[in-house]
Structure 1
Amino acid sequence: MTILHVAQPVTAGVARIAADLIRRQRAEGLDVVLACPDAGTLPGEAAAAGARVLRWEASREPGRTLPGEVVRLRAAVRAAAPGLVHLHSSKAGLAGRLALRGRLPTVFEPHAWSFAAVGGATARAALAWERYAARWAHRVLCVSDGERAQGAAAGVRARFAVVPNGVDTDSYGDGDPRMPSRDEARRALGVPPDAALAVCLGRVCEQKGQDLLVRAWPAVVDRLGGSGGALGEPGTGARAGVRRPVLAIVGEGPWAGRVREAAGGRGDVLFPGAVDDPRPWYAAADAVVVPSRWEGMALVPLEAMAAGRPVVVADVAGAVEGLPPEWRDRAAVPPGEPGTLAAALADLLQDPDAAARFGDAGRRRMRERHGLAAMGRGVAAVYREALAEAGRG
């Protein structure tokens, strides 16, 4: 059977999940085709895994280009002749369900609901669409129980399935040569060895909430006894015996300028830009922060815990489900509250023993529940259900 994956966007978390699934499916001997824009990281990774890649030009946002995108996707479906179609994220889900209308076994994976990302009339229109288009998916695949519950509570009546996101836990372990030691990473990144380093990785945008973290940061510095001066500046830094707090916002995106402006030129907030490999930043970090306004199940906290790092996350869909149960009260904070975020982050940064225990528990949980093998098995089971629902099992 041929599986056709359709994806837009082609970078960041959605692309990583799609690429990991494609690699696993190709390793199992399946015929896999990817339709996506000729941009980002996903086409190259899919081709390297042995998948056929069909160019499907589509913008990231819905708009006047949609009719042409639907026509082009129908042509891609004819060229691929798939037995099942897997639509990744809201834009592919929009064009794909319009193109297919349930005529082929279809799995739609929102990767966070479109109506949670907007407000006003746009949100109402997105929700109305999701309620209507659910009939054209043989399974709606959610990456967390929270994402499924959010959709059901909003009135999306779908044939839901839940498969948590997974990460390559081995590639974030000490045995992977790409994973440097803490000291090696800090030397390479220019971070002082005695800094209390908080790291936030991801696309800098409204969803990921880096602006909230920058607003919270002065309170973190105050709690840890730091001064907020530039790194290496004489006469500044933390009081004697107190590790100097440093925040790194790692990534680029449409809100990058806004977040830099909100930081106000603080010398203890670093903006290294986007990176191809996040491992050195995970290795260097004392804690990883994910202050998102909405998610399905973010990959950054899963990767951080696979690397043995504690995390502080906004309690949005899927966030708590990835955490070790004994750390949920301490690590998950209400979204959109900089004060609570600051308190939780400072708590971890000033307690290295607790951070180490959290890191160990997180690493165990990732290996037990969030590996790529578990995700692959779960998706395969969803495919079987979709095929049976369509009468092709």
Structure 2
Amino acid sequence: MRGTILHLAQSSEAGVARVVTDLAAGQCATGDHVIVACPAAGTLPRTAARCGAEVVRWDAVRSPGPALAREVAGVRRIVGTVRADVVHLHSAKAGLAGRLAIRGRLPTVYQPHAWSFDAASAVLRAAAVRWERTGARWAHQVVCVSEGERTHGVALGIRSRYTVVRNGVDLEWCGPPEVSAREAARSRLGVAGTGPLAVCVARLCRQKGQDVLLDAWAEVEERMPRARLVLVGGGPERSVLAARASSTVRFAGAVVDPRDWYLAADLVVLASRWEAGLALAPLEAMACSRPVVVTDVPGAREFLPRRQVPSAVVPLEDPGALAAAMTRLLADPATSRALGEEARAHVRRHHDVRRVVERMYDVYDEASRVWAAGVHGPDEHL
């Protein structure tokens, strides 16, 4: 592209931060001027700056509310200053404030990273769907990370120009798959000599379902008393979850680099209530040769080796099924290692982050083409 790309993100931690950082790193390496506008807190400002992006402060909170007018004004100031060739909006709040501020006056790409209405209460869900239908007119491309996410939006009447770009992983970052890497990681983390280890890397919030995971873990403990569970991540539900966790559960807090936890694990699990597809953490775990167990969110099956789907995907909010899947893998190290090796090969074939960067350039080119043609709404044709 060789131009100026502006990434706008409210979430400056966890999976969104990783996606934005990976894109920024690849785009900077290509020679583009990359600007990341995000809140000052979180990991994203530091990781984006390290990969060569210019970081601009954008003060924004997660939920819509009284601060929205100020957040929209902040986007207008940033856009007026940086003169971007394309604007890439990441997640619901950036999608809301960014589209209200820009209104299609620049080539605009919106990437929900899971639809906002799935996180809304019953009272707010209808309003969130109405907004996404309205806001679609101000996005020249909507990027979904799975066909399931795209289908979900279409089914609710969000008419837009969709492109599916599945998540990718920095394969060089993932490290060696050897058994020695597992033992070295356990030593660094202070869990050397422990029994079977399950790890969940996710923000501690209702979406990620750690409450369901703890219910399942109570069953795992009964069958495997030496097993341990580590929850890696910070978030609003920590105190509530900690109050109900047993002594075999450890809270590791938020980490900038979760790689050692993947390498230390025998199994990586995520009990999400909703996602855009498969969250980034299970993909990273697979790239580190670790088997995963995930819930059957739309699109999750698209990311896994086909023969692993029956054992790796469990129903939503079903602690019994989750416990059974975890126990099978934790009790059978040889099968777990074989599944992990197969998962690593699958990710290397299909989810290299370099392909994501290349695909996103195609998305930017298409958004620019639609914008240049003066198309303003999803119902218009070139």
**Corresponding residue for residue 200 of structure 1:** 200
Q: Which residue of 287, 298, 302 maps to 2:283? A: 302
> What's the CA shift string for 1:27-81, capped at 9, x where partnerless?
0011122222222221222222332222221112110111111112111101011
Question: For residue 337 of structure 1, what is the amino acid of its counterpart?
Answer: D
Say which of 255, 258, 261 aligns to 1:281. 261
Q: Is the 8 A contact 2:194 2:228 kept in 1?
A: no
Q: Distance in 2 between matches of 1:283 and 1:87?
A: 32
Aligned letter for 1:76?
I
> Is the aligned partner of 1:268 residue 2:270?
no
Q: Could you tell me which amino acid in structure 2 is paired with residue 313 of structure 1? A: V
Which residue of the partner structure matches residue 234 of structure 2?
A: 252
SS of structure 2 residue aligned to 1:272: strand
Cα 1:95/1:61, change in 2 over 3 Å: same
CA deviation profile, 1:184-242 (whole Å, cap 9, x unmatched): 22233332535111111121111111111101112112233x2xxxxxxxxxxxxxxxx
RMSD of aligned C-alpha atoms?
A: 1.7
Letter of the structure 2 residue corresponding to residue 174 of structure 1:
P
Confirm whether residue 11 of structure 1 aligns to residue 18 of structure 2. Answer: no
Tell me if 1:191 matches 2:191: yes
- C-alpha distance in structure 1 between counterparts of 2:87 and 2:157, whole Å: 24
Q: CA deviation at 1:170?
A: 1.8
State the alpha-carbon separation in 2 of the partners of residues 57 and 257 from structure 1. Answer: 26
CA distance in 2, matches of 1:180, 1:74: 51
Distance 1:136 1:170, change over 3 A: same
Amino acid at match of 1:223: R
2:344 maps to which of 325, 339, 363: 363
Please name the residue that 2:100 is paired with: 98
* Runs of 4 or more consecutive aligned structure 1 residues displaced over 6 Å after TM superposition: none
Give 1:161-240 correspondences, 5 Å limit: 161-174=163-176, 181-193=181-193, 195-224=195-224, 226=225
Q: Tell me, in whole angstroms, the C-alpha distance in 1 between the residues paired with 2:199 and 2:164.
A: 29
Partner of 1:235: none
TM alignment of 1:296-375, pairs within 5 A: 296=276, 297-375=278-356
Deviates more, 1:187-196 or 1:356-365: 187-196
SS in 2 for 1:248: strand
Give, in whole Å, the separation in 2 of the partners of 1:364 and 1:63: 45
- 1:353 maps to a residue whose letter is A
Please tell me whether the aligned partners of residues 17 and 43 of structure 2 are also in contact (alpha carbons under 8 angstroms): yes
Deviation of the 1:317 alpha carbon: 2.6
Match of 2:81 among 76, 79, 82: 79
CA change 1:307–1:80 in 2 (3 A) is: same
- Describe the SS at the equivalent of 1:317: coil
Q: In structure 2, what is the equivalent of residue 240 of structure 1? A: none
Read off the aligned partner of 1:159 and give its amino acid letter. Answer: R
- What TM-score does the superposition give when structure 1 sets the normalisation length? 0.91
Query: In structure 2, what is the equivalent of residue 236 of structure 1?
Result: none
SS of equivalent to 1:358? helix
- Contact 1:201–1:249 (8 Å) recurs in 2: yes
Other-structure match for 1:118:
120
Q: Structure 2 length as normaliser, TM-score? A: 0.93
Quick one: distance in 2 between partners of 1:280 and 1:22? 23
> Does the CA contact (< 8 Å) of 1:180 and 1:279 recur in 2?
no
**In structure 2, what is the Cα distance between the partners aligned to 1:50 and 1:181?**
29
Task: Specify the code of the residue in structure 2 equivalent to 1:131.
Answer: R
Report the CA distance between 1:392 and its aligned residue: 6.7
CA shift at 1:180, angstroms? 6.8
Match of 1:341, SS state, is helix
Which deviates more, 182-191 or 351-360?
182-191
Q: Deviations over 1:259-289 (max 9, x none)?
A: 11121xx221112222232122111111000
Alignment partners' CA distance in 1, 2:150 and 2:17: 21
- What SS does the corresponding residue of 2:284 show, helix, strand or coil? helix
The percentage of aligned residue pairs carrying the same residue is 51
Structure 1 residue corresponding to 2:160, chosen from 154, 158, 161: 158
**In structure 2, distance between residues paired with 1:194 and 1:252:** 23
Deviation of the 1:323 alpha carbon = 1.1
